[in-house]
Amino acid sequence: MPFLEAAAAKSPTIDEWLLWAILASPLTAWGLIALYFRRLPAVAGYLAIAGIGISCVISFVTLFNVIDADGAIAQHTHEWFTAGDVVVNLGVRVDGLTAVMLVVVTSVSLLVQVYSTGYMAGDAGYGRYFAHMCLFTTSMLGLVLADNLFMLFIFWELVGLSSYLLIGFWFHKPSAAAAAKKAFIVTRIGDLGLLAALLLIWSRAGTFDIAGIHHWAASGEASDKIVTLFALGIFAGAAGKSAQFPLHVWLPDAMEGPTPVSALIHAATMVAAGVYLVARFFPVFEVSADASEVVAWIGAATALIAATIALVQTDLKRVLAYSTVSQLGYMMLALGALGYVAAIFHLFTHAFFKALLFLGSGSVNHGTNTFDMRKMGGLRKKMPVTFWTFVIGSLSLAGIFPLAGFWSKDEILLDAWRYDRALWFMAATVAFMTAFYMFRAIFLTFFGEYKGGEPVDHHDPDNHFHGDPAHPHESPWPMRAPLLILAVPAVLAGLFNVNHDFGDFINHALPELPHHDESTFEWGIALSSLGLALAGIGLAWAIYYKRWVASASLREVFLPLAGVFERKYFLDDIYEDIFVRGIFHRGWNRLLELNDRYVIEGVVNGSGRLVRGVSNGLRPIQNGLLQTYGLGFAAGVIIFVLAVFAANPL
Amino acid sequence: MELTALVFLPAAAAILVLLLPARQEHLAKYVALAGSVAALALSLWLFFSFDVDQGGYQFTERREWVDLGAFNLQYFLGVDGLSMPLVVLTTFLTTASVLVSFSVTHRQRLYYALLLVLATSVLGVFTALDFMLFFLFWELELFPMYLLISIWGSGRKEYSATKFVLYTIAGSAFMLVGILTLAFSASTFDIQVLGQSSFQDTVLPLSWVFLFLFIGFAVKLPMVPVHTWLPDAHSDAPTAVSVMLAGVLLKMGGYGIIRMCVTILPGEAGDLSAWMAGAGAVSVLYGAFVTLRQTDVKRLIAYSSVSHMGLVLLGVAALGNTGMVGATYQMVAHGLITGLLFVCVGLMYERTHTREIARLGGLARQMPLIATGLVFAAFGSLGLPALAGFIAEVMVFIGSFEEFEWAALMAISGAVLSAGYMLWMLQRVVFGPVRPEWNGLTDQRHWWEHSVVLMLAALIILLGLYPPLLTDVINPAIDSIVLRVGA
C-alpha cells in the first residue's frame, strides 16, 4: 500500500479553523436541536447527521493531510485564562493518533446517527436523543483534539455527562436512572486519579501541555516515583472510562440506554477515551516500568474476568457488553506490554466490528422486542442482513483470519508473549472464550426454532414498538445500511497494518520512536490463536447447535464457578451492599450525621439551656422588691468596706 | 458617590415600598424589582468601568464620621478586585430573589422592604473599608434575616431564626474583641491602613486576635463544626431568603477571612495555614458525608453548601494567588449555582408542598422545565466543566496542592461524594416513574420564573466558558494580598 511515502519532518498544513470546525459542527447541531428543534423530529435527526457528517468529512481531510505529513504533529494554542500563577490554554493538536481517532469517532458516530433515525423513530424524546448524541460526539472529539491535559479533562468530564444523559435517556425507568447514576459515579472515582495527576503535573512540571509532559517524563528531571504516580493517576482515569477491573461494573448496566447509544459508547466514544488517554501519555508509561506493569496486569485481569462473565449471559446485549470490557482489557494489556501500536490498532478495528455487533443486536431487538436470547432463535431466515453482518462481526471479534480482528488481536498476543508469558496465556484463554461466547450467542439467536420474542405491552405509553414480535422482520433501510457499511471495515481494516503502515503512521505522535522489536508477525502466535478461536467456535457449535451436550448439565458440572460468573464475581454486591450501604450509608455517614445532630447540636442547644438555667436561677434576685435590693446593697457595702480594711490594715 | 448610591439604593427602594398605601400593596414587588434592577445596573456599570490593571481600591469615598479623640470612625467605602465580583453577585442575586418572591402574598410590603434592607447591609459589608462600619453592616444583616425567616418561613421557623441570630452574634462577639484590639493598637479602623500595619503592644496576643476574627467569619462561612445553624435556617427559610443566604451571606465569611484575617494579620495566617487547610478539607468531606444522609431537598443543598464553602477556606489556606483566586471564584460560582438550586427547589415546593425526597419522583415528566433547571444546577454543583464551579474548584485544588498535598487530595474526594448526593437526589426527585399525585401541576410558566432560571443559568455558563471575565478582575487584587503575605 502506498500509504506513507512522503518524506518526514514537515507538519500537517491543515488550517486551524478546520480543526476547530470538527468540534464546532456537531456542537452547533446540538445547540440548534436543543434550542429550536426538540419538538421537530424530522429536522433533529437530519441536523445531527449533517453536523456529524461535516466533521466526518473534515476528519478525513485531516487524516489525509496528516498522512501527507507522515504523521507529524501540528499544534495551535491560545491562552484561555490566567488564575493566579496558573495559565490555562485552549488548543488543538493533530498527529497520527489524533487523526485516526477523529476518523473512527466521526465515521462510527455518523453511521450510528443514520441508524438511529430508524431505531428511534416514534420515540417521544426523539429530538432530545439527537441533541445528546451530538453533545456526546462533540465531547469525544474535543477530548481527542485537546493539546493539553486541562482541556482534555474538561471534555473527558463532558463525555461523562453525555453518557449520563444518554444511558438515562429513558429516565422514567428506575433501572435506567440508576444505571446512569452508576456510570457517572463509578467513572468519577477513576477521574479522581486523573484529577490528582493533573494537580501533580502542574506542581512538578508547571505545564499541562501534552508535548511538554512527554518531554518532562523523558527528560528525567522528575524522580521515578513521581512519574509512576502521575502515570497511575492517568491510568485510574482511563480505568474508569474504559471499564477496567475493578471499575468495569458500570458498563454492562449502561445497556439501559437505547441500543445505538451502546454502540457509540462501546465502539467509538466513551470506552475508547481511556485507551486513547493512556496511549496519549504513552511516553510517560514507557519511562515508568512499574506503571506499565500495573496497566498490563489490570488489563489482562479485566479481559479474563469479563470473558468468563460473558460466557453465562442470557441477554444478547450483555454478552456484547462484557465482550467490550474484555477487549478493552486486551487493549490495556497491550499498552502495558508497551504495544502502543497494537493497542490503538485493536481500538481501531474493534470500533468497527463492535459497532456492527451492537447495531445488529439493536436490529434483532427491533424485530423481537427483546434482548433475551432465550426468547429468540431461528432469526437467520427472517433477518438475513442482520444475521450475515452479525456473523461477520463475530468472526472478526473472534479473530478469524483474514478479518480485521485477527490482525489486531494477533499483534496484542505477540506483544503479550514478548512481555510476559503468563500474560500471553491469559490473553490466549480469553481468545478461546471470546470465540465461544460469540458463537453461543449466534446459535441461540439465529439458529433453531424462534421462541416468540417479547409480547408488546400496549399499556406502556413509552413503548413505541411497531411490528409484531411474533413475526419478526428485517429492519428498515436506515438500520440495514449502516450494518452493511460497517461490515466492510470489519473485514478489511486489518490490512492497514500488514506492512506496519498504520504503526509507522501513529508512531510519529510519540516524541521518539519506540526502540523495541517491531516485527509484527510470528507464525506460532498467529496459528495458535487461530486454533483457539476455531476451537471456541467448534465447542459452541457442538453445544448450542448440535446440542451434543445439554447446556444445563454443563452448568451443573461447573456449578460453583458458573454461579460466580452469573453473579459477576459478587462485585456489584460488594460495592453496593457492603461499601455504599453498609460502610458508608449506615456506618460512617450515619455516624457523622449523628455527631452533627447530637454532639454538636447538643453543645449548641445545651449552651442555650445553660444560659436559660442560670438566668432562671438568678431571676429571684431581681424580684422588684426594694427592700431586698436595699438589703443586698447594704450587704455589698459592708463586704466591700471589710475587704478594703482587710487588704489595708490600719 | 457611586458606591454610596449603590449601597443605599436598595434601602431607598425599601422605604418607597413601605410608603405604598395598603391598597397598592400589589405594587410592592414591582417597586422592589425596579430597585434591585437599578442596583444591578449600577453595579454592572461599576464592574465594567473598573480598571483591571490597577490592584488597589477604586471608587473610594471617605468622610470623617465620629470623632473618638485618639482616632476616628470613618465612612469609608471602596472596592477592589476581591469585592467587585461579590458586589455584582449580590445585586444579581437580589434581583433573582425579588423575582422568585413574586408568588409571595403575605404582608408583601414588609417582606420586600426587608429583602432590600438585607441587600443594602450585604453591599455595605462588601464595600466598607472602615472596620467598624463593616461591623455595623455585618450586624445590620441579622435584623431583616431574623424577621424574614420567622415570619415567612416554614416548619420550626422561630427556632431556626433565633439560632441563626445567636450563632452569628456569638461569632461577632469574638470578632468585635478582635477589631477593637487591632484598632487600639493601630489607632485606626481604616482597613487599608490596618492592612499595612504591623501591630505592637496589643492587649491580646496577635494569634488570639486572628482566631477571634476567624471565629466570627468561620461561623458565617460556615466551617465545620460551627455549621449547624445553616441546615435549619435554610430548610425553614422562604425560597428568596435561601437564595440570599446561600448566595451572598455565606460569602461574607469567606470575604472576611481574605480581607481581614489574611490581609491584616498575614504572619498569623501563615502560622495557622495548615490548620485552616485541614479545617477546609474536613468541612468539604464532613459536609459531603452528612449531605449523603439527607432526606429533605433543602437540607441536602444546605449541607452541600457546607462542603463547597470548605473549598473556599482550603483555597485561602494555601496563601498563594492561585488558591485565593480559586476561592474568590468559588464564592461567586457557589452563589450562582446554589442560588439556582434553591430557586428550582423552591418552584417545586410551591407546587408540591413537600421537600421530602421520598415523596417526590418522576417530576421530569410533569415539570420538564423546572426539572431541567434542577439537573443543570446539580451538575453545576458537582463541578461539571464548562460551568462556573469547575474553574473555581480546580483552581482551589491546584493552589492548595502546592502547599498542602494531603488536604487537596482529601478535598478532591469530595468530587465523587458530590456526584453521589446530587445524582442520587436527581434520581429520586426528577427521574423514575411518574407519580399520579403530582399530575395536573403546572410547570414553570410565569415570566419571572423563566427569567430568574435563565439569568442564573446563563451566568453559570458564561463564567464556565469565559473565566477571564472574573479572573482578570480578581488577579491583581489577590496578587497584592499575596505580596503582603509573602513579605
- The grid cell for A630 is 436595699
Residues A358, A263 contacting (CB under 8 angstroms)? yes
As a whole number, mean pLDDT of residues B375-402 equals 94
**Structure-model confidence comparison of residues B35 and B55, the more confident one:** B35
pLDDT single digits (tens) B389-399: 999 999 999 99
The answer to whether residue A621 scores a pLDDT higher than 90 is: no
Where does the pLDDT of residue A151 fall: very low under 50, low under 70, confident under 90, or very high at 90 and above? very high
Q: Give the range of the structural domain holding residue B461, as residue numbers without chain letter.
A: 272-487
Instruction: Give how far Cα B270 sits from Cα of A461, B210, B313, B396, B482, Å.
Output: 63, 11, 14, 17, 11
Q: Are residues B140 and B121 in contact, defined by beta-carbon separation less than 8 angstroms?
A: yes
**Mean pLDDT, rounded, for A394-410:** 88
Percent of chain A scoring above 70 in pLDDT = 95
* Cβ partners under 8 Å of residue A511, min gap 6: A211, A214, A215, A218, A283
Interface confidence, given as ipTM, is 0.94
Query: Three-class SS of residue A271?
Result: helix
Residue B451 lies in a domain: yes
Contact B292 A585 (CB under 8 A): yes
Contact A159, A105 (CB under 8 A): no
Is residue A266 within 8 A of residue A105, CB to CB? The reply is: no
Bridge partners for A92 per DSSP: A76, A146
- Domain contains B189: no
pLDDT score, position A7: 42
Residue B364, domain member (yes or no): yes
Chain A interface, mutation test: which of B228, B235, B319, B393, most A Cβ atoms within 10 Å?
B228
Banded model confidence at residue A3, pLDDT cuts 50, 70, 90: very low
**How close is the nearest chain A Cα to the Cα of B30, in Å?**
30
Of the candidates B391, B394, B431, which has its C-beta nearest A177's C-beta? B431
- Which H or E element spans position A81? strand A74-83
Q: Answer yes or no: do A84 and B395 touch at CB < 8 A.
A: yes
- Residue appearing with cell numbers 485606626: B188
The per-residue pLDDT of chain A, averaged, comes to 86
Q: Cα–Cα distance between B158 and B149 in angstroms, integer?
A: 7
Contact between B47 and B89 under an 8 Å Cβ cutoff? The reply is no
A158/B398 CB distance under 8 A: no
Mutate to test the interface with B, among A185, A247, A600 (most CBs of B within 10 A): A185
Rounded to whole angstroms, what are the CA distances from B350 to A21, B38, B291, B346?
A: 44, 28, 23, 6
CA distance A43 to A36: 10
Q: What's the rounded mean pLDDT across residues A239-266?
A: 88
As a whole number of angstroms, the distance between CA A457 and CA A455 comes to 6
Distance from CA of B267 to the nearest CA of A (A): 21
Looking at per-residue confidence, does A127 or A550 come out higher?
A127
What's at B169, amino acid-wise?
I
* Angle, helix A224-241 to helix A149-167, in steps of 10 degrees: 20
On the question of pLDDT at A8 being above 50, the answer is no
> Residue B268 pLDDT > 50, yes or no?
yes
Instruction: Assess whether pLDDT exceeds 70 at residue A520.
Output: no
> Mind listing the pLDDT tens digit for each residue in B221-257?
999 889 999 999 999 999 999 999 999 999 999 999 9
Domains in chain B, number: 1
pLDDT at A6: 41
Chain B residues inside the 8 Å CB shell of A191: 415
What is the per-residue pLDDT across B310-330, written as a single tens digit (0 to 9) for each? 999 999 999 999 999 999 999
A–B CB contacts, 8 A cutoff, strictly below: 144
Q: Nearest-CA distance from A430 to chain B in Å? A: 33
Res. A439: pLDDT tops 80 = yes
pLDDT value at position A28? 93
For residues A331 and B386, give the distance between their C-alpha atoms in angstroms, rounded to a whole number.
31
Please report the pLDDT score of residue A650 as a whole number.
62
The verdict on residue B178 lying in a domain is no
Tens digit of pLDDT for each residue in A368-381? 888 888 888 888 88
**Any domain includes B367:** yes
Confidence of residue A454 (pLDDT cuts 50, 70, 90): confident
The predicted structure's pLDDT at residue A459? 65
The nearest CA of chain A is from the CA of B358 a distance in Å of 14
Q: Rg (Cα) of chain B, in Å, rounded?
A: 21
User: Which amino acid does the sequence have at B324?
Assistant: M
How, if at all, do strands A86-94 and B58-67 pair?
unpaired
Counting residues of chain A whose pLDDT is more than 90, the rounded percentage is 35
**Alpha-carbon separation of residue B239 from A57, A537, B116, B148, B449 (angstroms):** 50, 64, 15, 11, 12
Q: Does the beta-carbon distance from A157 to B415 stay under 8 Å?
A: no
Selected residue of B158, B412, B474 to mutate for chain A interface (largest A Cβ count, 10 A): B412
Instruction: Tell me whether residue B125 is exposed, middle or buried, using C-beta atoms within 10 angstroms of its C-beta: 0 to 12, 13 to 18, 19 or more.
Output: buried
Q: Kindly state whether residue B173 falls inside one of the protein's structural domains.
A: no
What residues of chain A lie within 8 A of the CB of B420, using their CB? 185
Chain B: give the shortest CA distance to residue A365, in Å. 23
> Do B471 and A83 make contact, defined as CB atoms within 8 angstroms?
yes
CA distance A411 to A426: 15
Of the given ranges (A77-86, A288-297, A445-454, B314-323), which has the lowest mean pLDDT? A445-454
Q: Which of B286, B466, B474 sits opposite A592 (nearest CB)?
A: B286
Percent of all residues in chain B with a pLDDT value above 90, rounded to a whole number: 75
Task: List the single residue in B with minimal CA-CA distance to A201.
Answer: B398
**What confidence tier does A523 reach under pLDDT thresholds 50, 70, 90?**
confident
Lowest mean pLDDT among A103-107, A120-124, A167-171, B279-283: A120-124
Beta bridge partners of A76: A92
Segment among A101-110, A486-495, B215-224, B277-286 with least mean pLDDT: A486-495
Overall average pLDDT of the A326-349 stretch: 91
Q: Give the residue on A whose Cα is nearest the Cα of B403.
A: A203
Closest residue in B to A34 (Cα–Cα): B372
Reported as a pLDDT band with limits 50, 70 and 90, residue B95 is very high
Supply the pLDDT for residue A613: 87
How is residue A460 written as a grid cell?
Answer: 406502556
Domain assignment of residue B284, yes or no? yes
Of B362, B424, B433, the CB nearest to A181: B424
Least confident of A449-458, A476-485, A511-520, B372-381: A511-520
- Which triple of cell numbers denotes residue A120? 428511534
Determine the pLDDT at residue A142. Answer: 94
Chain B hits for A168, CB-CB cut-off 8 Å, are: 431
Q: What is the pLDDT of residue A4?
A: 40
Per the CB < 8 A criterion, the answer to whether A376 and A458 are in contact is no
pLDDT of residue B201: 77
What does DSSP say about strands A86-94 and B72-79: parallel, antiparallel, or unpaired? unpaired
Q: Work out whether the CA dihedral A119, A122, A127, A129 comes out positive or negative.
A: negative
Look-up of cell digits 478582635: B178
Q: Is residue B160 part of a domain?
A: no
Task: Please give the helix or strand (H or E) that residue A77 lies within, else none.
Answer: strand A74-83
How far does B368 lie from chain A, in Å, by closest CA? 12
Tell me the chain A residues in contact with residue B365 when contact means C-beta distances shorter than 8 Å.
Answer: 172
